[in-house]
Amino acid sequence: MEYDKETGKSNYSIMSGLPINFEEDELREFLYNHRKVINVTEKLSIQVNEKLVGTIFTGRKRI
């Protein structure tokens, strides 16, 4: 982001090579609504059975 003191606007690239001039409140709203950073935590458990259960489908191998 580059701030222009003359215009009072910030030049922010919304995509690679596509800069747009924003007012400060417009830029805050854009970043709030379009850029999110989230952390995802997952607990995963895997159970392995000794006997095979179910059906396995395999495709034909092409030579």
* Pick from 27, 32, 35: nearest CA to 1: 27
* Pick from 32, 10, 13, 6: nearest CA to 23: 10
What's the pLDDT tens digit per position in 13-52? 877 778 888 888 888 888 888 767 788 899 888 877 777 7
Q: How far, in Å, CA of 26 to CA of 22, rounded? A: 6
9-28 in b/e form (b: 16+ CB < 10 A) is bbebeeeeeeeeebeeeebe
Whole-model pTM over 0.85: no
